[in-house]
Amino acid sequence: MTGAVDVNIVDWSAVLSRVVLVDDANRQPAVPAAEARAMLRLAPDELDRLTAAGLPGAGSGEDRRYDFRDLYNIGIYTGNGKSRPEQAMKVMMRFASRPVEELLSRRRWTIRITGSCAACRDGDATGTWQVQVPVASPAGGRGLSWRVRTRSEGPAEQQPDLLVEGTVETAGVLHRIVSPAIRAVIDEFLGQAPRWHLLTQKQWADAERFHRLGVTDCVIANLYLADRLRAIGVEARTRCGWMTGIVDVSHGWLEVRDEDGILKAVDVILPALARLLNPCSEPYLSMPLGSLINRVIPADCAADQALVVHKHGIETVDCDLLTEVRPVLDRPGA
């Protein structure tokens, strides 16, 4: 048969219309073409078509390189379920299809964080680590154990530069925002239907630009909402913590003092991702704003603060971090 049409061909112009690409000044083209194809699960000619449609990079042919953030965001909005970013996010959001009761029950998790720094390995003894500690949640979650150990405290050949091991208990709570003023600010933001993007700390300073472009992440969204709520006299702060059951995912949300005096959590990002990646998650989507689920572990820091900071002297330096949050199979009793 000749002249057959591949119904799986992606309209890359349409995909790119939903993605705000990294601007020229901040683009970091470091992902080789072969890795980009593997990340998006593309045939060689498909990456060529995507590039021709407007995906920027540096170099040509197999030497061409792309920005990881551009590839990740394109993978999310391709919508065919094939890309690694989309598959990873769907794994993270599996909880959204569970009954509400399962998102409120008590759960236990182990946290393991390892850090590696080239300067520390080269013998620079000035390195210090600041690690946020899990805090009790309004729903009654609590830390059960927490140990931070640096390489200087163990056999150098056998220890990572940083090793954190802990066990925490989480619990959800079901609340509703009752203040019309708070709901109006949140509804105004959600009415703009902002699109989630993978953004980095350097991009957070450009929050107003991303807001105008209809793009957000858990940091930009919550900083924006906190500012507007404080402007009308509402006690509001952002919170950062760990997502459970997946590797290397931190998350930020909002806490507000409602007019009934209760401090309540507001998460506008996870429901947006649930709608994007799993439109059948109605039990989770029916949870009113104000609730906290047992899939997040709060720390005592704002959404735009890092959970782990490594410094040499007064300078913050890049390091390799791996964070794993795994369920404890033996759940605690009532």
How far is 115 from 323, CA to CA, in rounded Å?
A: 9
Predicted pLDDT of residue 3: 39
- Name residue, tokens 């969204």: 221
* E strands present in 107-174: 107-116, 127-131, 142-150, 162-170
Distance of CA 101 to the CA centre of its chain: 24
- Helix residue spans in 93-176 (DSSP H): 100-104, 118-121
Cβ atoms of 245 and 328 closer than 8 Å: no
CA distances from 43 to 9, 53, 103, 186, 197 (A): 11, 15, 39, 42, 24
Cβ atoms of 229 and 185 closer than 8 Å: yes
Could you report how far apart the first and last alpha carbons of the chain are, in Å?
Answer: 65
Tens-digit pLDDT profile for the chain (334 aa)? Answer: 333 333 467 899 999 999 999 999 889 999 999 999 999 999 989 999 999 999 999 998 889 999 999 999 999 999 888 999 999 999 899 999 999 999 999 999 999 999 999 988 888 888 899 999 999 887 788 899 999 998 765 555 567 899 999 999 999 999 999 999 999 999 999 999 999 999 988 888 888 889 999 999 999 999 999 999 999 999 999 999 999 987 888 999 999 999 999 999 999 999 999 999 877 778 888 888 999 999 999 999 999 999 999 999 899 998 999 999 999 976 544 3
| Closest CA relative to residue 16, chosen from 246, 202, 197, 192 | 197
Angle, helices 33-40 vs 68-78, to 10°: value is 30
